[in-house]
Structure 1
Amino acid sequence: MTLRVLLVEDDRALRATLRAALAVEGYEVLTAASLSEGLAVVAHAARPGEASPGLDLVLLDLGLPDGDGDTLLQSLRKRHGLPVLVISAREAEGQKIRLLDAGADDYLVKPFGMAELLARMRVALRHRGTALAPAITRWQHEGVCVDLADPRVLRDGQPVHLTPTEFKLLARLVRSAGRIVTHRQLLADVWGAEYVDHTHYLRLYMGQLRAKLEAVPAEPRLLLTEPGMGYRLVEGA
């Protein structure tokens, strides 16, 4: 199962950058821009049929517009055993010690490199007994190649221009290649949780992707429809 991360960060640009980078690594990322929003996500993030919290790790900024992130840390520690990595511009040693003593698994000072963040996330997850599968970042089949790390899409060796939304949709399917991704999952991950009922978006953009990637768009062999459920990208070669 895809590991689910909650990113609590009020800086919109950094939030978008981290979300995109984590998605490429195969994480499902939920975001919150404030303390209250973070608490709400934790309260409602349980997956169907599973007990709360429905999260695997929390990345937590401290300076939030409606309070301090350590309030969320305290709440998590009272109820859940989730690994929590603090990401903050505050670098005072006393601050770090206080939060680590309060239950944070690690403390990373901004600015930081993505490679370091990913490494610390892996360590925190391993310490909690969570097995990590390698992320799918490259997929190819029948002359179509998708590289999420580069990023680029090729068809028969020629670049294919995709809009940002088309690429996000394709990337989400690549990360689950060979498995069905439901309509609601795709809509939430690509457009946002408020769009989970807008299935016409999927029909439109899947049609556009097929027109660009399939040899015969009306008879897709790569981007498959699973009637009443969602879509599936065939496994890569």
Structure 2
Amino acid sequence: MGWTGRRRRFTAKRKPAKKVAAAMVTYYITSIKPSPLYHGESAMNGFELRNIVEGFVFTLTSRELSEKYIHVKYCSASDKYIRVSDDNKETADYRSCLYSSINMFRGQTAAGARQLVYVGRDRGDEEGNIEWRFDFQDTGLVIDQVTLVATARLYQNGQVKWRCGPQHQMDASLPVTEELVESVLRGSNITGQSDFNLTAYLSGGAGGSPYLNAQLFAIGREDYHKYPLDIKIRLKEKE
């Protein structure tokens, strides 16, 4: 991948089709019709292999350490992360930079005549969540402020709850909006901390496909210039 970060090692486990343990290399098999946008599928006797997730943690490159700044954004149309603060390096697949993911996938749906791509919870699951983690321990730096965009689209009674902050105190929340609007985060649970975590919890929905009623990062299939997840973290010397 060519990015600075670390990936925790986990033990692979095989489970029947239901829950996936957070931050583990875990998979399960289910007989769902394959889709080219349903990530993780495997042509294995008509079954899919899904939710293969490892615990990736963002750490600073030498350039980011020098500039006291890290900027990462994600486009769901191209399914690529761009690390702006490290020469715009690209990494494919939304799962490649996740710390954890439970019952989540990248899919496609129609909104009128428009085709949308999004990240949402798996078909048949009542809840799902997804997490990104940044760790600045052992750098001598702490967070000054976080500026981020994180979009969500809701239908009927679908629900998305954003939580962020250090691992031990993720009590800051974000507005749920489908607009590309920046939120600037400061305060005791952000400023002065040596790590930052962003988690989305998806639930709710009604009708025949309730899992479609809560979607993250929904944009047009060809909206390659839009970044519905955009995280900028300004750092400072630890006092």
Q: Fold conserved (TM > 0.5)?
A: no
Answer 1 or 2: which has greater strand percent.
Answer: 2
Answer 1 or 2: which has greater helix percent.
Answer: 1
The alignment's TM-score, normalised by the length of structure 2, stands at 0.24
Could you say which structure has the larger radius of gyration?
1
The alignment's TM-score, normalised by the length of structure 1, stands at 0.25
